Chains A and B, each alone.
Chain A
Amino acid sequence: SQQGEEDPQALSIQEGENATMNCSYKTSINNLQWYRQNSGRGLVHLILIRSNEREKHSGRLRVTLDTSKKSSSLLITASRAADTASYFCAAYTNAGKSTFGDGTTLTVKP
């Protein structure tokens, strides 16, 4: 399996609910970044968490990082229909190489 795998592959929730996506990676990282992509467009940067950080918040987003388990999670609270998109994690090594996961497709129903 590839580094930077997301779980679940697809998630469908009602507006107002929370959405949690998980990401696993294989090698040591410098940082991990989460992105959102709408329908085959460019990626929008959401949040960066460094290897020495455990948790980070940005608005309705909360990201955690567990380097011992080589995993990260993205929590979107109080979801909105506009949050419908694909979400990707990308693991960045100290050498600067990045590996993206396959993404989680989130559908938020109004």
Chain B
Amino acid sequence: KAGVTQTPRYLIKTRGQQVTLSCSPISGHRSVSWYQQTPGQGLQFLFEYFSETQRNKGNFPGRFSGRQFSNSRSEMNVSTLELGDSALYLCASSLAPGTSSDEQFFGPGTRLTVL
């Protein structure tokens, strides 16, 4: 079974631009969560989607948004990029949250650099 895939793996943008990152969960997984990892703030939860609905949201500004499609693939968007948005963005999938099958499996991440 293929793991969680994220595209692109690396991205360079300039301040003010917007970016869209994509995540394909493990086949059969319906929950997708996004995280931001930076040296200064560590791993921070962005949001979680389940069955195309945002189930949880972390403490990030509205410039960070996401969505989930009917095939459980998810995208996150960051608008008006700032230098501080440079980070490794990780996506994780699980079968269903809050059940006995809620182990999360992470993708390799997208390394975003904002210049």
Query: Whole-angstrom distance between the alpha carbons of A90 and B44 in the complex?
Result: 10
Find out whether the CB atom of A103 lies under 8 angstroms from the CB atom of B105. Answer: no
Find out whether the CB atom of A96 lies under 8 angstroms from the CB atom of B48. Answer: yes
Find out whether the CB atom of A30 lies under 8 angstroms from the CB atom of B107. Answer: no
Query: Whole-angstrom distance between the alpha carbons of A30 and B56 in the complex?
Result: 15
Query: Whole-angstrom distance between the alpha carbons of A43 and B37 in the complex?
Result: 11
Nearest residue in B to A101 (C-beta to C-beta)? B42
Find out whether the CB atom of A102 lies under 8 angstroms from the CB atom of B98. Answer: no
Chain A residues with Cβ below 8 Å from B92 are 43
B64 within 8 A of A: no
- Which of A14-22, A33-41, A60-68, A70-78 forms contacts with chain B? A33-41
16 contacts between A and B (CB under 8 A): A2-B42, A30-B98, A35-B106, A40-B88, A42-B90, A43-B92, A45-B103, A45-B106, A90-B43, A90-B104, A96-B55, A96-B56, A97-B56, A99-B45, A100-B35, A102-B42
Residues 39-62 of A at the B interface (beta carbon under 8 Å): 40-45, 48
Given contacts A2-B42, A42-B90, A88-B43, 9 further A-B contacts (CB under 8 A): A33-B104, A35-B106, A45-B104, A96-B55, A96-B98, A97-B45, A97-B56, A100-B35, A100-B44
* B23-57 interface code vs A (CB 8 A; 1 in, 0 out): 00000000001010000001111001000000110
Find out whether the CB atom of B42 lies under 8 angstroms from the CB atom of A103. Answer: yes
Chain A residues with Cβ below 8 Å from B4 are 42
